[in-house]
Amino acid sequence: MLDLPHLLRIVDAIILPMLAIGILFLSKISSGERARWAERQFYVALMVMTFVTLRTVALSGDLWLVHTGTLGIMIIGSLMVRTQGTPLAMQPRFHL
């Protein structure tokens, strides 16, 4: 049976990085109103992974490579992979 520290370790090592990469994937394949929602979720996940990575590195945790790699994939993936819809910053404000 798993106790709480082991369960938190599994979440920290496996579930959190997979969730962050999944949100990145969702933000890239979505379009329209769902894309706006997915981008907001991506920014929240990016902030969470940044703080988790900073905590892990500052405490010299065993999972520093997993967290740093996940954060790197999120940053590079957000810049390199094209989105399906128009990004929020590129949408026109006025229609002529």
Give φ, ψ of 24 to 5 degrees. -60, -45
pLDDT for 17: 95
Q: pLDDT tens digit string along 16-58?
A: 999 999 999 999 998 888 988 999 999 999 999 999 999 999 9
0.85 surpassed by pTM: no
pLDDT for 82: 74
Q: pLDDT tens digit string along 52-82?
A: 999 999 999 999 999 999 999 999 999 987 7
pLDDT for 2: 75
As a whole number of angstroms, the longest Cα–Cα distance in the chain is 64
> How many CB atoms are closer than 10 A to CB 71?
18
Q: Residue 38: is it exposed, middle or buried by C-beta count within 10 angstroms (0-12/13-18/19+)?
A: buried
Are 81 and 25 contacting, i.e. CB atoms less than 8 angstroms apart?
no
